[in-house]
């Protein structure tokens, strides 16, 4: 049996700084410390031998089922054996102002019936499994250290802890009504802070309350509320609290095809996601997160203005050099990459996303400030100078740059939003005529070079006859009005050419990288939204319902799903999918 | 030899010592965080603890420089070499007696090999020569105190 569970068997828990993936069998197989984009301490998901893990399970054959505690990111797994049942509640506790561990993962056990022999074992492997680890007992706590990082286990009623050369663990038995708690605490560049049992359990309880309050404050009252709330909670897991940045996903190199080389590091914030994110946060009533995110990306981009990097580190830095790790990869999918080489690509659509995000933010009565307004105007000027260049496009193709239709359309969006903000007095208006003229030129270019009479559709890139799913964004970004015949026939053509059941491939042509991939889940939600926008709500709702059935048992999605097997592929959970879900639900709610 | 010069040396020496410790921390050589260790004796608030800790650290740096001053006076000489020798003694004292015997007595949240967190959280005990905070910690501590002592010695000599 493969040591790698299917990706849909993972759950995500987090604390606003980092995210852990917990498998259905109770094993934590991905955790980076101290932050989401730091090196991993558990990476068994990428290398079962060398990656490191934290297992906790019955010692007997068992069945497992799980759920998030309602409206939280706290996971409850129930193990049932022939001798009894036990629940394990996993929470990454949220730090308070009082003295506590820098990061803390609390696993609380409660015996439901009978008596269940349990075992737990922690094998920490710092630095993606490459850093030397020292394991020792600082009585009564087993401690693992590596450089400026440390990890310790505080266990109560969870057996007599053994510490050996490779890890630490214990066997114990839990009876009906019995309770046990295991707290994994960590420190980075400081001494460990060991909590008492009552403190660890109180923090875990406070964490449940925090998530419930956060979910209760969501403003969404439309249909499919459970799915929208779960997506919002998944998105909140990706918010890096210290800066307000939002990571695309908490993982790296989960493969887009098993055994393939399309393995990328998503622990960065993509400017492309900015307007989706802001719109979703604002509509969900999360103005605090929206404001933090807006100012984060305005500050991050200031270093490179008017040129934008495709992605930024969560601390706002612009460098993300790509390199490979000596890990086996999920089910042998090599290479395992960290960093992201797409960072330096020219992707013109990002400019439209950023200006649309600013437009959405300003339209919600948020002040922009004089400097920011000047920065946004300089971005619009940049678009005027550069929209004629070929680029890597939204799909970050590593083949030669092309004149991607969606990139051109987003350049039009950039200038359209700049003009509209200038007319409202939110941006300096001295270049408004130039912005309007160039916007018209872009539209003419798309009409002349990016439309296929044969397919009755906009095409992937100028002069081609291929389609791609990003064309749906022309509806979502209101490039064309809903009644536009070109827009309507493009939606039909994209569905006709790229659909696989309810799912959608992003394209079928060559992208310069070997191997295939699954269907991009966000594209299918875009299709649902596009259908809703052009007034085909029933079709949109039916598709949306089909897509909801493809989530895992917890309501989470990976970046891709294999149409034949419905296996998850790619990084998990992916923010853009959950953003697209929220956006589609909102579009239908507004119909 | 002026007491003001020695105090100035104590201030500059503490500054350099702090930079060396912070640099070693950044370079992943040690998890020792002197401001965190000292400040958490006063408050459980992490942010406030670091501010208080830095203030205490500089006060202690000045007080130790006065002890150096007394020793320089007693010996009738000073200079960087003698200061560095005092710095070595200072580091050994800090790494053995100060943090393991004296600090747990006055620090309500400092763990020892005999304690366990119960009603209040406990800081990881430093261990002999602060080895629990990383194997390079003794080396870093000694180097930082050698620098501190040498600077106080230079200032004392004028």
Rounded to a whole number, what is the distance in Å from the CA of B88 to chain A's nearest CA? Answer: 23
3-state secondary structure of A431: coil
| Tokens coding B45 | 């608030």
Q: Say if residues A91 and A207 touch (Cβ distance below 8 Å).
A: yes
Give the separation between CA B42 and CA B56, rounded to whole angstroms: 10
| pLDDT at residue A514, rounded to an integer | 64
The candidate with the shortest Cα–Cα distance to A45, out of A568, A578, A577, is A568
- Specify the range with the lowest mean pLDDT, choosing from A51-60, A420-429, B68-77, B99-108: B99-108
Give the separation between CA A249 and CA A360, rounded to whole angstroms: 24
Give the burial string for B113-137 (b: 16+ CB within 10 Å, else e).
eeeebeeebbbbbbbebbebbbebb
Residue A411 has pLDDT above 90, yes or no: yes
- Check A193 against B121: CB less than 8 A apart: yes
Q: Is B61 on the interface with A (CB under 8 A)?
A: no
Nearest by CB: B121 against A97, A138, A194: A194
| Tokens coding A114 | 């009978």
| Tokens coding A194 | 């060991």
| pLDDT at residue B122, rounded to an integer | 87
- The model's confidence at residue B103, banded by pLDDT at 50, 70 and 90, is confident
Which residues, numbered 483 to 502 in chain A, qualify as contacts with chain B under a Cβ-Cβ cut-off of 8 Å?
none
- Check A194 against B117: CB less than 8 A apart: yes
- Check B32 against A147: CB less than 8 A apart: no
Residue A398 has pLDDT above 80, yes or no: no
Which residue in chain B is spatially nearest to A144 when comparing CA positions?
A: B132
The alpha carbons of chain B give a radius of gyration, in whole angstroms, of: 16
Q: Is B69 on the interface with A (CB under 8 A)?
A: no
- CA of A33: how far to CAs of A15, A37, A73, A193, A338, in Å? 12, 8, 19, 16, 15
Interface test with A, best of B114, B124, B131, B136 (most A CBs within 10 A): B124
| Tokens coding A201 | 């359990």
Q: Say if residues A221 and A587 touch (Cβ distance below 8 Å).
A: no
Give the separation between CA A194 and CA B134, rounded to whole angstroms: 17
Per-residue pLDDT averaged across B25-40, rounded? 92
- CA of A461: how far to CAs of A38, A102, A449, A466, A470, in Å? 37, 49, 8, 8, 11
Give every CB contact of residue A19 below 8 A, 6+ residues apart in sequence. Answer: A12, A13, A30, A31, A32, A36, A92, A237, A238, A250
- Specify the range with the lowest mean pLDDT, choosing from A33-42, A53-62, A359-368, A385-394: A359-368
Q: Is B39 on the interface with A (CB under 8 A)?
A: no
Rounded to a whole number, what is the distance in Å from the CA of A269 to chain B's nearest CA? Answer: 25
Which residue in chain B is spatially nearest to A151 when comparing CA positions?
A: B124
- Check A99 against B30: CB less than 8 A apart: no
Give the separation between CA A99 and CA A84, rounded to whole angstroms: 38
CB contacts of B109 in chain A (<8 Å) are 99
pLDDT digits (tens, 9 = 90+) for A81-101: 999 999 999 999 998 778 899
Q: Is B31 on the interface with A (CB under 8 A)?
A: yes
Beta-bridge partners for A123: A53
| Tokens coding A28 | 């934590």
- Check B31 against A98: CB less than 8 A apart: no
Chains A, B: CB contacts within 8 A come to 88
Residue A1 has pLDDT above 60, yes or no: no
CB contacts of A154 in chain B (<8 Å) are 117
For A356, other C-beta atoms within 10 Å of its C-beta total 22
Q: Say if residues A315 and A386 touch (Cβ distance below 8 Å).
A: no
Give every CB contact of residue A517 below 8 A, 6+ residues apart in sequence. Answer: A256, A257, A260, A262, A505, A506, A560, A569, A570
Nearest by CB: A150 against B31, B37, B45: B31
- Give the single-character DSSP code of A535: T
- The model's confidence at residue A53, banded by pLDDT at 50, 70 and 90, is very high
Among A364-368, A384-388, B37-41, B121-125, top mean pLDDT goes to A384-388
CB-based burial label for A164 (10 Å; 0-12, 13-18, 19+): exposed
CB-based burial label for A177 (10 Å; 0-12, 13-18, 19+): exposed
pLDDT digits (tens, 9 = 90+) for A148-201: 999 999 999 999 999 999 999 999 999 999 999 999 999 999 999 999 999 999
Q: Is A99 on the interface with B (CB under 8 A)?
A: yes
Mean pLDDT over each residue of chain B, to the nearest integer: 91
Phi, psi of A173 (to 5 degrees): -125, 140
Using CA of residue A541, residue A542, residue A543, residue A546, what is the dihedral sign? positive
- The model's confidence at residue A344, banded by pLDDT at 50, 70 and 90, is confident
- CA of A515: how far to CAs of A263, A279, A569, in Å? 11, 35, 13
CB contacts of B111 in chain A (<8 Å) are 194
Q: Is B125 on the interface with A (CB under 8 A)?
A: yes
The candidate with the shortest Cα–Cα distance to B142, out of B83, B95, B82, B81, is B95
| pLDDT at residue B116, rounded to an integer | 65
Q: Is B36 on the interface with A (CB under 8 A)?
A: yes
| pLDDT at residue B118, rounded to an integer | 67
pLDDT digits (tens, 9 = 90+) for A252-292: 999 999 998 889 999 999 988 888 888 899 889 998 889 98
Which residue in chain B is spatially nearest to A189 when comparing CA positions?
A: B31
Q: Say if residues A585 and A223 touch (Cβ distance below 8 Å).
A: yes
CB-based burial label for A305 (10 Å; 0-12, 13-18, 19+): middle
CB contacts of B44 in chain A (<8 Å) are 97-99
Nearest by CB: B124 against A138, A188, A189: A138
Q: Is B84 on the interface with A (CB under 8 A)?
A: no
- CA of B107: how far to CAs of A23, A255, A407, B41, in Å? 41, 50, 61, 5
Beta-bridge partners for A150: A145, A187
Which residue in chain B is spatially nearest to A135 when comparing CA positions?
A: B132
pLDDT digits (tens, 9 = 90+) for B62-100: 999 999 999 999 999 999 999 999 999 999 999 998 888
| pLDDT at residue B100, rounded to an integer | 82
Per-residue pLDDT averaged across B56-60, rounded? 95
Q: Say if residues A152 and A138 touch (Cβ distance below 8 Å).
A: yes
Which residue in chain B is spatially nearest to A149 when comparing CA positions?
A: B31
Give every CB contact of residue A545 below 8 A, 6+ residues apart in sequence. Answer: none
Give the separation between CA A100 and CA B45, rounded to whole angstroms: 9
Torsion of CA A503, A569, A350, A462, to 10 degrees: -60
Q: Is B107 on the interface with A (CB under 8 A)?
A: no
- The model's confidence at residue A511, banded by pLDDT at 50, 70 and 90, is low
Give the separation between CA A192 and CA B34, rounded to whole angstroms: 13
| Tokens coding A398 | 């590593």
- Check A196 against B28: CB less than 8 A apart: no
Residue A577 has pLDDT above 70, yes or no: yes
CB contacts of A97 in chain B (<8 Å) are 44-47
- Specify the range with the lowest mean pLDDT, choosing from A509-513, A515-519, B134-138: A509-513
Give the burial string for A43-76 (b: 16+ CB within 10 Å, else e).
bbbbbbebbbbbbbbbeeebebebebeebbbbbb
Nearest by CB: A196 against B121, B126, B135: B121
| pLDDT at residue A349, rounded to an integer | 94
| pLDDT at residue B117, rounded to an integer | 65
What is the interface pTM, i.e. ipTM, of the complex?
0.87
Nearest by CB: A99 against B31, B46, B124: B46
- The model's confidence at residue B105, banded by pLDDT at 50, 70 and 90, is confident
- CA of B51: how far to CAs of A95, A190, B40, in Å? 19, 15, 10
Residue labelled with tokens 């081609």:
A464
Give the separation between CA A230 and CA A236, rounded to whole angstroms: 10
Q: Is A143 on the interface with B (CB under 8 A)?
A: yes
Interface test with A, best of B24, B117, B119, B126 (most A CBs within 10 A): B117
The alpha carbons of chain A give a radius of gyration, in whole angstroms, of: 24
| pLDDT at residue B8, rounded to an integer | 97
3-state secondary structure of A192: coil
- The model's confidence at residue B61, banded by pLDDT at 50, 70 and 90, is very high
CB contacts of A139 in chain B (<8 Å) are 113
- CA of A369: how far to CAs of A169, A298, A494, B153, in Å? 55, 11, 41, 53
CB contacts of B116 in chain A (<8 Å) are 140, 194
Give the separation between CA A35 and CA A239, rounded to whole angstroms: 11
Nearest by CB: B28 against A97, A100, A148: A148
- CA of B55: how far to CAs of A124, A346, A445, B62, in Å? 36, 48, 64, 11
Nearest by CB: A190 against B28, B33, B45: B33
CB contacts of A143 in chain B (<8 Å) are 124, 132
Interface test with B, best of A142, A145, A148 (most B CBs within 10 A): A148
Give the separation between CA A27 and CA A45, rounded to whole angstroms: 10
Mean pLDDT over each residue of chain A, to the nearest integer: 94
């Amino acid at each position: 049996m493969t040591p790698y569970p299917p990706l849909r068997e993972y759950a995500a828990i987090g604390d606003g700084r980092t995210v852990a993936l917990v498998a259905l069998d109770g094993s934590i197989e991905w955790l980076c410390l101290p932050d989401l984009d730091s090196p991993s301490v558990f990476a068994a998901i990428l290398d079962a031998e060398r990656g490191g893990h934290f297992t906790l399970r019955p010692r007997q054959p068992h069945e497992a089922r799980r759920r998030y505690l309602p409206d939280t990111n706290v996971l409850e797994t129930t193990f049932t054996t022939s001798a009894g049942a036990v629940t394990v509640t996993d929470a990454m506790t949220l730090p308070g102002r009082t003295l506590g561990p820098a990061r803390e993962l609390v696993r609380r056990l409660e015996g439901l019936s009978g008596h269940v022999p349990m075992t737990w074992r922690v094998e920490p492997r710092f630095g993606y499994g490459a850093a030397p680890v020292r394991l020792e007992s600082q009585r009564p706590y087993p401690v693992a250290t590596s450089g400026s990082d440390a990890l310790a286990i505080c266990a109560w009623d969870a057996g007599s802890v053994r510490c050996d050369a490779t890890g630490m663990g214990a066997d114990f038995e839990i009876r009906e009504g019995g309770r046990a708690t295991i707290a994994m605490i960590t420190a980075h560049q400081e001494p460990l802070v060991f909590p008492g049992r009552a403190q660890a359990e109180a923090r875990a309880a406070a964490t449940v309350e925090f998530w419930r309050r956060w979910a209760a404050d969501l403003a969404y009252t439309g249909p499919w509320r459970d799915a929208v709330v779960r997506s919002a909670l998944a998105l909140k897991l990706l918010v890096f609290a210290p800066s307000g940045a939002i990571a695309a996903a908490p993982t790296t190199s989960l493969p887009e095809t098993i055994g393939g080389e399309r393995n990328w590091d998503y622990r960065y914030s993509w400017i492309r996601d900015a307007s989706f994110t802001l719109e979703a946060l604002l509509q969900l009533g999360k103005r605090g997160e929206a404001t933090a995110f807006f100012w984060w990306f305005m500050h991050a981009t200031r270093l490179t203005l008017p040129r934008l990097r495709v992605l930024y580190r969560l601390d706002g830095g612009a460098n993300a050099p790509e390199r490979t790790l000596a890990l086996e990869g999920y089910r042998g999918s090599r290479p395992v990459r960290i960093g992201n080489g797409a960072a330096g690509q020219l992707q013109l659509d990002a400019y439209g996303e950023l200006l649309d995000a600013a437009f959405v933010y300003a339209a919600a009565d948020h002040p922009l400030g004089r400097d920011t307004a000047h920065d946004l105007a300089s971005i619009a000027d940049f678009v005027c100078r550069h929209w004629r260049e070929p680029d890597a496009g939204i799909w970050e193709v590593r083949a030669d740059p092309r004149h991607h239709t969606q990139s051109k359309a987003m350049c039009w969006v950039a200038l359209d939003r700049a003009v509209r903000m200038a007319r409202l007095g939110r941006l300096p208006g001295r270049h408004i005529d130039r912005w309007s003229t160039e916007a018209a030129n872009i539209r003419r270019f798309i009409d002349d070079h990016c439309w296929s009479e044969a397919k009755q559709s906009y095409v992937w890139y100028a002069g081609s006859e291929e389609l791609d799913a990003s064309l749906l964004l022309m509806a979502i970004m209101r490039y064309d009005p809903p009644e536009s015949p070109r827009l309507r026939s493009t939606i039909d053509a994209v569905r006709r050419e790229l659909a696989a059941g309810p799912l959608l491939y992003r394209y079928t042509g060559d992208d310069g990288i070997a191997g295939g991939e699954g269907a991009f889940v966000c594209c299918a939600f875009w299709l649902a939204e596009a259908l809703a926008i052009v007034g085909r709500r029933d079709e949109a709702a039916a598709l949306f319902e089909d897509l909801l059935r493809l989530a895992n048992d917890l309501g989470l999605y990976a970046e891709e799903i294999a149409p034949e097997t419905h296996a998850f592929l790619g990084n998990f959970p992916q923010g853009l999918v959950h953003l697209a879900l929220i956006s589609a639900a909102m579009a239908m709610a507004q119909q | 030899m002026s007491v003001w010069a020695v105090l100035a040396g104590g201030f500059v020496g503490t500054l350099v010592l702090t930079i060396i410790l912070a640099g070693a921390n950044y370079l992943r050589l040690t998890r020792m965080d002197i401001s965190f260790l000292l400040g958490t004796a006063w408050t459980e608030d992490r942010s406030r603890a670091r501010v208080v800790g830095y203030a205490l650290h500089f006060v202690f740096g000045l007080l130790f420089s006065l002890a150096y001053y007394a020793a320089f006076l007693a010996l009738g000489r000073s200079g960087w070499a003698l200061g560095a020798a005092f710095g070595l003694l200072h580091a050994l004292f800090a790494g053995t007696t100060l943090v393991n015997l004296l600090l747990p007595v006055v620090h309500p949240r400092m763990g020892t090999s005999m304690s366990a967190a119960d009603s209040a959280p406990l800081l990881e005990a430093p261990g002999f020569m602060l080895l629990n905070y990383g194997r390079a910690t003794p080396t870093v501590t000694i180097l930082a105190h050698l620098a501190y002592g040498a600077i106080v010695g230079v200032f004392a000599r004028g």
